[in-house]
Each structure stands twice: as structure tokens, then as C-alpha cells.
Copies of this chain bind each other. A is one copy, B any other.
């Protein structure tokens, strides 16, 4: 049914090859093999090239082999041993994952682009890709977070969509990459709601196989105003990218996918949960127990709902936060053992600042939660609504040293 009249197949590129990107390549490659009528059998994975030496503990290390003892190109190594020994060691990748160090070449002919890059690389990578992608390609952004400043809020998916002039959805959930790579059961949420431009209606004879439509920017009305983009419809000789077919790309027996329309909610959930994880860490660091932790999580989920409604209106749905993996489940996972939670807990328990813990324990990496808490606070201040988000605001004030974790109950108590 899905492929009626379709002669072509969708080719997929994973843009990124870190821990999460490599995991995504693995599961997408497994799925294209099971859906041969829909998808090209090769999955390209763009690799930011680097030289790596096989560590002695790797199963691919051979003390007698010359290649084992000298640096090799990461992309070549992946294509030889079918493992990303640097970023996802121990996990065998399907042989139809092809690592490619050439960004532009990796997206050649691809109608589906899956972005799994660190946040800060997205603009630069998109600028390099612009003009080199299939004009009617669709993207899914698997990078969590949003750009928040006093000026407004921009979703990652919006940033990608606008720079490339294509539709971009989002994937987010309670997804610790290493667990999924090991095929431990997990769920995720995919937000995918392109405007009606790839109708199966017959196109007039002689018309081009793709057409353009005007629409509000992918990601729907954003907090810093409307933008429009010209999106090209998928030619009719491709299988439609319906919810069903998008689900086939990601859903595995160990990775259950629910598809929703709400790109805003899926994107906000992945960002705001980090503020909640800090709050949960603070109360846990005080030794207040599970009641307190659950309370902070509940209050946080409702502040997410309120935030979405206030700044994105009907584009943000309550149920995305309260019922989907990208909302409640991701909050739970992040507050059980995530990095923001752990560092906040240690900070309180050891009487240090969270910055001190970050410097001591994170090996140069930065906590997402602290920067998100500052950015969201600047945004809320600019709108004059700090008081409407007492949990987000008390977290900011604790980070600033103006309040203490002990103040949380009083601060979030409805007055």
C-alpha cells in the first residue's frame, strides 16, 4: 500500500557518528534491511574524520598486526571492523552502515537526513550542506536542546530546516544511547508533521516532479515570530513519508517509537528536563528522599506544559509532556541517573558549587542543565514572567547563589 506507484526508494544519511549517531545508524540500518521496498539498502554515516589507534582492550586489537599499533582513519576502521571503536566500542554495526568522511558526498542522493550532531556543530554543518542536498529531502533532528536567549527560542529542528530549506522533524525520548546500542528495551518519540505538500494527487503532465509551497517555518510558530520557507514536495515516484513509513525507519523490537505531530513539545522536553534534573539532584543531595524527588519532577513537568502553552500556543500539546517518552519518561530517566542530576546531587552533598563539581568530574565537558537554566531564565525575565515558573526560577537562583536548595519547597509552593 505504502509503495503504490513508487519506483524509487529513500536513501538515508546519518549526519553524525558519536555515541548516539552510531547507535542511530545501527538501528536505522537494521530497519532498512527489513523494509527493502521503501529504503535503499545502504545507510551513509558521516564521520568527522580523525585518527584513532585501536585500544588494547578492544576485541579488534591484534598485537601481532602492524595496523593495530598505528593510528588509522576512523571512517576506514568503521568500514573494516564494523564497529565505532572510539564512540561505541563493543557494538557490531550492520554491514550496510557505510562510514563516509566526506560530508557532501555522504548526503548525495539522500532523501532522509538524520541529524545527530553536538548542538554547537549544527549551524556550521548545515552551512556546508546547503546547496548540496536533495532539495526535497526531509530531516529528523535527534540532537536535544533548543537555542534560548532573551531574543527568543529556536528549536534545533527549526535551525536545520531553515538553513537547508527542508522540513525537519525531531526525535527525543528516554534514550541513553549505550543502552539502546545493547538492544536493551527503550522507547522514543518522533515528532513529524510536515505541511501537506507531498500529496499523492496526480501532477499535471509536464509539470516538474517536485513543486514548492509556502508555509510557516518547520517547527511551527516559534517564540521569536513567524518565518516562512519554501519547501519542495516529495516527488510522487517516492514512497510517501507518512507516519507509518517514518515509524518503520526507527521502530525496533527493542526501541519502540510513538509518532506525534508536536515538534515543539518534543524539542522543549529534551531541553527543559535538564533544569528539572538539577532540581531533583539538589533535593536528593539534601537527603530528602523519594517523595521530594518525585514532587520536584511532577512540578517540573507541569512547568514544561505551561512554558509550551505560553510561548508556542496550540503548537505545544500537554500530552507530549505528560504522556510521551520525550516528556515524562525522559524526565524520569534524567532524574534517576543523568549527568545533571548527579552533579547537582554531589554539589549539595559535598557543599561545593556545581561549577566546581563540573570542573572536577566532567573532564572538560559542560553540563547542559546549567546553561539551559541561565538561558531560560534570561528569556523568562525578558518576558516578565519569572514568577510563573517557580521551579525553573529557583534552580537559576540556586546556581546564582541567591537561594539555597532548602528553599525549593517554599519557592514552588502555590501562594
For residue A297, which residues in chain B have a CB less than 8 angstroms away from its CB? 328-329, 332
Q: Establish whether residues B292 and A329, one from each chain, have CB atoms under 8 Å apart when the complex forms.
A: no
Size bracket of the A interface = 35 or more
Q: Which of A66-74, A108-116, A120-128, A406-414 touches B? A: A406-414
Q: Mark A7-24, 1 if CB is under 8 A from B, else 0.
A: 000000000000000000
- Cβ of A337 within 8 Å of any chain B Cβ, yes or no, is yes
Given contacts A179-B288, A302-B323, A323-B302, contact A294 B185 (CB under 8 A): no
Q: Report the bound CA distance from A152 to B322 in whole Å.
A: 29
Point out the residues of chain B lying under 8 angstroms from A333, CB to CB: 290-291, 293-294
Considering the complex, give the chain B residue whose CB is closest to the CB of A287. Answer: B184
B-chain residues with CB within 8 Å of residue A292 when the two chains form the complex: 179, 184-186
Q: Chain B residues with Cβ under 8 A from A256's Cβ?
A: 295, 409, 412-414
Contact: A322 with B325, CB < 8 Å? no
Give A323-363 interface residues, CB cut-off 8 Å to B. 323-325, 328-330, 332-333, 336-337
CB-CB under 8 A from A302, the residues of chain B are: 323
Chain B residue at minimal CB-CB distance from A296: B185
- Cβ–Cβ contact A290 & B337, under 8 A: yes
Which residue of chain B lies nearest to A409 when distances are taken between CB atoms in the complex?
A: B185
Chain A contact residues: helix, strand, loop or mixed: helix
- How far apart are the CA atoms of A410 and B337 in the complex, in Å? 26
Distance between Cα atoms of A186 and B295 in the complex (Å): 6
B291 touches A184 (CB 8 A): yes
Asked if A289 CB lies within 8 Å of chain B CBs, one says: yes
In the assembled complex, the CB of A334 is this many whole angstroms from the nearest CB of chain B, namely 9
Known: A176-B289, A179-B289, A293-B336. A410 touches B187 (CB 8 A): no
A291/B323 in contact, CB under 8 A: no
Task: Mark A160-200 against chain B: 1 for CB-CB distance below 8 A, else 0.
Answer: 00000000000001111001100011110000000000000
CB-based contact B253/A185 at 8 Å: no
User: In the complex, are the beta carbons of A295 and B253 less than 8 A apart?
Assistant: no
In the complex, A283 has a CB within 8 A of chain B: yes
- Can you pick out 20 interface pairs between chain A and chain B where the beta carbons lie within 8 Å of each other? A174-B291, A184-B289, A186-B292, A186-B295, A187-B299, A253-B409, A256-B295, A256-B412, A290-B332, A291-B333, A293-B332, A293-B336, A294-B330, A294-B333, A295-B325, A295-B329, A297-B328, A298-B332, A319-B322, A322-B328
Interfacial residues, chain A to chain B (CB-CB below 8 A):
173-176, 179-180, 184-187, 253-254, 256, 283, 287-295, 297-299, 301-302, 319, 322-325, 328-330, 332-333, 336-337, 408-410, 412-414
